[in-house]
């Protein structure tokens, strides 16, 4: 299966930082000690020369990190600097020097300093509020406030319920698309509906992942992953690759356009149509489209995605693959006679066993 990145750089960086602070980690234990003491605190993760040059005063500690040591040092007003690998406490009670030109919407002195320093150094800074008794992570221009366990569990369980509902709808939408593809009668409405549901499933699962990370060892009930989830998401993403309009230079532009849609824009199917390269006015809604064949060919057992790419490059559409002879198929680089027979037999089996599913009520966007 093709490796399709569905997380942008900011999301990957945030998730990596959240993992360091999951309940049960050594760093989170130290944070919890400070939270429980209600003294507040400011901690910088990283001791690069740039970071150290932007600190003044305080003490050179350079001792092994322990949650207890972090807690004791947090009783002083200044910031604590931890090493890059979070194994050593480098300095304590330091003042963080920030540029006055860096903006911040924070009002509290500690949180404002953390926000500006994170933007300036592009490192993670943790601020623990004395008055609100909350832990906030600042990473570059991102801000993430950790919530209490009961709130997280409630929201996570609600997300799990939403994910299950979206997954059921996605399976139905994909079944409709399968039937349409094998019958040679696919419309943009069916394509867009399946992509919309795939995105809802993917985003709900990504949100659930964040809850798993933030709850850590306190979220055993969330560790269960629906077995077919990854397959359904990958299959859904291949719909984009099958149907993006040729006026786009390549599939990556269509992927980026769809993944960039915020939750509100995703509810409007015309935005998905536009992301694929079609008009927003609905003129293409009932036009019959031809799939390139990536998704159907990915269902054939033991066919590497690189070979699927070769097949699609040669035949252009799924219909052309269906009508090609075994000799035509085996001439494609990497296919050969045995694989050609497997492909022909698999596609024929899909067509003969396909049953028309119950239709979804789909809006005609315009």
Question: Residue 129: what pLDDT?
Answer: 93
What CA–CA distance (Å, rounded) separates 132 from 35? 10
The domains found in the chain, sorted by start residue, are 14-146 (3.40.1700.10), 148-291 (1.20.1260.110), 293-355 (1.10.150.20)
Both tokens of 72, joined, read: 């004791």
The pLDDT score that the predictor gives to residue 219 is: 67
- pLDDT digit string (tens) for 269-321? 999 999 999 987 666 677 789 999 999 999 999 999 999 999 999 999 999 99
User: Low-confidence residues of the chain, pLDDT below 70?
Assistant: 1-7, 218-225, 281-284, 358-366
pLDDT the model gives residue 27: 96
> What is the reported pLDDT for 5?
56
What is the pTM assigned to this prediction?
Answer: 0.80
pLDDT of residue 248: 75
Distance of CA 175 to the CA centre of its chain: 25
Residue 149's pLDDT is 85
Report CA torsion sign: 256, 262, 266, 268. Answer: negative
What pLDDT, on the 0 to 100 scale, is given for residue 131? Answer: 85
């Amino acid at each position: 299966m093709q490796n399709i990145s569905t997380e942008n750089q900011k999301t990957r960086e945030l998730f990596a930082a959240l993992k360091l602070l999951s309940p049960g980690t050594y760093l989170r234990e130290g944070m919890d000690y400070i939270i429980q003491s209600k003294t507040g605190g400011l901690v910088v993760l990283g001791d690069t020369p740039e970071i150290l040059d932007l600190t003044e005063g305080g003490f050179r500690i350079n001792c092994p990190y322990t949650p207890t040591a972090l807690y004791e040092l947090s009783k002083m007003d200044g910031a604590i600097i931890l090493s890059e690998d979070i194994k050593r406490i480098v300095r304590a009670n330091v003042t963080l020097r920030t540029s006055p030109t860096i903006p911040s919407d924070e009002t509290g002195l500690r949180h404002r300093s953390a926000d500006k320093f994170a933007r300036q150094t592009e490192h993670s800074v943790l601020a623990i509020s004395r008055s609100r008794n909350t832990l906030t992570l600042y990473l570059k221009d991102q801000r993430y406030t950790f919530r209490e366990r009961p709130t997280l569990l409630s929201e996570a369980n609600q997300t799990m319920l939403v994910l299950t509902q979206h997954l059921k709808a996605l399976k139905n939408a994909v079944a409709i698309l399968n039937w349409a593809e094998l019958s040679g009668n696919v419309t943009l409405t069916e394509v867009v509906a399946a992509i919309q549901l795939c995105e809802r499933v993917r985003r709900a699962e990504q949100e659930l992942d964040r809850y798993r990370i933030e709850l850590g060892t306190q979220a055993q009930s969330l560790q269960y992953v629906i077995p077919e989830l990854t397959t359904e998401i990958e299959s859904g993403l291949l719909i984009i690759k099958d149907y993006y309009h040729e006026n786009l230079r390549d599939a990556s532009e269509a992927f980026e356009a769809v993944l960039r849609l915020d939750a509100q824009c995703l509810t409007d199917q015309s935005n998905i149509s536009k992301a694929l390269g079609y008009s927003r006015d609905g003129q293409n809604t009932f036009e019959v489209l031809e799939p390139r064949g990536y998704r159907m060919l990915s269902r054939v057992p033991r066919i590497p995605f690189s070979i699927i790419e070769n097949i699609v490059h040669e035949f252009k559409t799924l219909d052309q693959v269906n009508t090609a002879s075994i000799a035509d198929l085996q001439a494609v680089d990497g296919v050969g006679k045995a694989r050609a027979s497997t492909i022909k037999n698999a596609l024929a089996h899909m067509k003969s066993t396909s049953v028309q599913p119950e239709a979804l009520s789909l809006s005609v966007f315009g």
